[in-house]
Amino acid sequence: MSVIIREIQTKNILTKSDLPVGDRSLNPYVGCEHACKYCYACFMNRFTGHTEPWGTYVDVKMWKPLLHTERYAGEEIFLGSVTDPYQPCEERYRRTRAALEELAGSGAKISIATKSDLVMRDMDILKRFSDARVSWSINTLDEDLKNDMDNAVSIERRFAAMKAFHDAGIRTTCFISPIFPGLTDVERIIERARDKCNLIWLEDLNLRGAFKPVIMRYIAEKHPELLPLYRDIYDRKIRAYWQWLDGEIGAYAEREGLEYMTAVDNIERPFDAPPVIVNFFYHGEIKKSAKKRKNLA
Ligand code: SF4
């Protein structure tokens, strides 16, 4: 599928964020070539005037270099809340790298979410931040399912990048998201990731967006045996599956001596400690309580 790429001028590249993982968000692009079928960021179409399907356009943001960046010292800046900062066009446009170069030395903390290994190109600059963290979304070990769902690099390339960063002493997260009921084998993914990451973040598949019919159709065609479960979860709002999975992961964590928590605070541990598993199910509710905690802090 061809992607329409154009440059746009923008004034504000950094925006205040109510995400539990950052004080500000920075998205060097609008749109995303990875075109994940479950991408909640497709709501951006409403705000940008794009009528093309999500995944078929990218606006490359051009901005004047950030000045007085010391004002962000101590803040956490999250790259990639509504786009992938390392999607293929970053190789040519280098806007993510430009943002990192402008922020280096500011004292800001950097957190990056990606499905790409292009981030390895920028390891040199990420080492200049005292507390950088890079997370890779991995919700299956099955490359066919991955290929059905997104246009990003293979799962194996994501693990290889995670290992390279971890070996280099940079904090990494395995973001097991979105968890597809009946398809995502959380324990097997944790087994693959646990020696390469500091944090394992779990998020349930949320089907509130325009992509709900797309995913339901996919399940009906490829996994019809799971359709009753999906109808229970996404039409009838029954939470039993997530409660069961929560119990399973809790029991696994206990067996393996791993910490498992449902809150989003106090998750930092020494670099060499085993990874902490964070349950971010029902994240709409958790986001609200995290915001409350942030406002109280
Ligand atoms: S990589 Fe992230 S932003 Fe890009 S389409 Fe997938 S979920 Fe959306």
- Show the beta-strand stretches assigned E in the chain: 4-9, 14-16, 24-26, 29-30, 57-62, 76-79, 109-114, 133-137, 171-179, 199-204, 260-261, 276-279
- CB 34 near ligand 1, within 6 Å: yes
- CB 24 near ligand 1, within 6 Å: no
**pLDDT tens-digit profile of 3-44?**
999 999 999 899 988 776 678 999 999 999 999 999 988 777
Q: Where along the chain do its domains lie?
A: 1-131
Give the per-residue pLDDT at 265. 64
- CB 32 near ligand 1, within 6 Å: yes
**pLDDT tens-digit profile of 134-171?**
999 999 999 999 999 999 999 999 999 999 999 999 99
Give the per-residue pLDDT at 296. 40
- CB 150 near ligand 1, within 6 Å: yes
**Does a cis peptide bond (omega within 30 degrees of 0) precede residue 178?**
yes
**pLDDT tens-digit profile of 203-216?**
999 998 788 999 99
CA 41 to ligand 1: nearest atom: 8
First CA to last CA across the chain, in angstroms? 46
Least confident piece of the model among 84-93, 154-163, 184-193, 206-215 = 206-215
Nearest alpha-carbon partner for 215 in 202, 203, 206:
206
d(CA 260, CA 27): 30
CA 38 to ligand 1: nearest atom: 7
pLDDT bin (cut points 50, 70, 90) of residue 126 is very high
CA 32 to ligand 1: nearest atom: 4
Give the per-residue pLDDT at 13. 93
CA 114 to ligand 1: nearest atom: 1
In percent, how much of the chain has pLDDT > 90? 80
Mean pLDDT (whole number) for 47-58? 88
Backbone φ and ψ of 244, nearest 5°: -65, -45
Query: Measured in angstroms, how far is the CA atom of residue 37 from the centroid of ligand 1?
Result: 9
Q: Which amino acid is at 218?
A: Y
- CB 58 near ligand 1, within 6 Å: no
- CB 84 near ligand 1, within 6 Å: yes
- CB 41 near ligand 1, within 6 Å: yes
CB 293 within 8 A of CB 20: no
- Ligand 1, pocket-test mutation among 150, 155, 176, most atoms within 8 A of CB: 150
